Chain A
Amino acid sequence: MSIYWKRGGYRTALRTRRTPYPKGRAMTIAAVVTGLGSSLPPDTVSNHDLAARLDTSDAWIRSRTGIATRHIAEPGIATSDLAVAAGGAALSSAGERIAELVVLATTTPDRPCPATAPEVAHRLGLGHVPAFDLAAVCSGFVYASAVADAVIRSGLYRSVLVIGAETYSRIIDPEDRDTAVIFGDGAAAAFFRGGAAGEPGAVRAVELGSDGAGADLIAVASGGSRMPDTGADMPRDLRFFRMRGREVYRLAVRRMTASATAVLERAAWKAEDLDGFIGHQANQRILDAVAERLGVPAHARLGNIRAVGNTAAASIPLALADAAAHAAVPVGGRTLLTAFGGGLTWGTIALTWPDAHPVQLPPSRGGARSAAVHSHSPDRLEP
Chain B
Amino acid sequence: VPDTESEAYELVSTLIAERFEVDPDAVRPDASLEDLGLDSLGAVELLDILQERTKVHLDTEEADLSVTLEALAARISDADATTEKP
* Residue A269 CB within 8 A of the other chain: no
B19 contacts A247, C-beta separation under 8 Å: no
Which residues of chain B come closer than 8 Å to A246, judged between CB atoms?
Answer: 40-41, 44, 60-61, 63
For the complex formed, measure the closest distance between the CB of B65 and the CB atoms of chain A, giving whole angstroms.
12
* CA A146 to CA B5, docked complex, whole Å: 47
Which of the residues B41, B48, B61, B63 comes within 8 Å of A285, measured between beta carbons?
Answer: B41
Q: Which chain B residue shows the least CB distance to A244?
A: B61
- Chain A residue with the shortest CB-CB distance to B49: A293
Instruction: From known contacts A63-B39, A285-B41, infer whether A247 and B60 are also in contact, taking CB-CB under 8 Å.
Output: yes
Q: Are A253 and B45 also in contact (CB < 8 A) when A64-B39, A292-B19 are?
A: yes
Contact in complex: B39, A250 (CB < 8 Å): no
Where chain B touches its partner, the secondary structure class is: helix
Chain B hits for A285, CB < 8 A: 41, 45
A253–B48 CB distance below 8 A: yes
Q: How large is the interface on A (under 10, 10 to 19, 20 to 34, 35 or more residues)?
A: 10 to 19
User: Given A63-B39, A64-B39: A249 and B44 within 8 A (CB)?
Assistant: yes
Q: Are B41 and A249 in contact (CB under 8 A)?
A: yes
Please tell me if A208 contacts chain B, counting CB pairs below 8 Å. Answer: no
For B44, B52, B60, the residue with the greatest tally of chain A CB atoms inside 10 Å of its CB is B44
List of A residues within 8 angstroms of B40 by Cβ: 246
Cβ of A289 under 8 Å from chain B: yes
Expressed in whole angstroms, the Cα–Cα distance for A132 and B19 within the complex equals 43
Considering only residues 32-70 of chain B, those with a C-beta below 8 Å from chain A are 39-41, 44-45, 48, 52, 60-61, 63
Q: Which of A276-293 contact B (CB under 8 A)?
A: 283, 285, 289, 292
User: Which A residues touch B60, using CB under 8 A?
Assistant: 246-247, 249-250
| In the complex, residue of chain A having the shortest beta-carbon distance to the beta carbon of B60 | A250
Residue numbers in B under 8 Å from A283 (CB-CB): 41
Answer yes or no: A48 CB below 8 A from chain B CBs: no
Does A123 interact with chain B (Cβ within 8 Å)? no
Contact mask for chain A residues 240-264; partner B; CB cutoff 8 A; 1 contact, 0 none = 0000101101100110000000000
Known A-B contacts A246-B60, A250-B60; the reply to A289 vs B45 at CB < 8 A is yes
Nearest-CB distance from B57 to chain A (Å)?
A: 12
The contact of A254 among B39, B41, B48, B61, by CB within 8 Å, is B48
Q: Which of B17-31 contact A (CB under 8 A)?
A: 19
Give the docked Cα–Cα distance between A254 and B19 (Å). 16
CB <8 Å contact, A247 and B48: no
Do A64 and B41 form a contact, CB below 8 Å, given A254-B48, A292-B19? yes
**Bound: A253/B60 CA distance, A:** 13
CA distance A244 to B59 in the complex (A): 14
Of the candidates A64, A244, A250, A292, the one whose C-beta lies within 8 Å of that of B48 is: A250
| CA of A208 to CA of B60, assembled, Å | 25
Known: A63-B39, A64-B39. A250 touches B19 (CB 8 A): no
Contact with B along A353-368 (1 / 0, CB 8 A): 0000000000000000
In the assembled complex, the CB of A286 is this many whole angstroms from the nearest CB of chain B, namely: 8
Closest to B51 in A: A250
Least Cβ distance of B42 to chain A in Å?
A: 8
What would 15 A/B residue contacts be, using CB atoms closer than 8 Å?
Answer: A63-B39, A64-B39, A64-B41, A244-B61, A246-B41, A246-B61, A246-B63, A247-B61, A249-B41, A249-B44, A250-B48, A253-B45, A254-B48, A285-B41, A289-B45
Going nearest first, the 8 A-B pairs with the smallest beta carbon separation are A250-B60, A250-B48, A285-B41, A246-B44, A249-B44, A250-B44, A246-B61, A246-B60
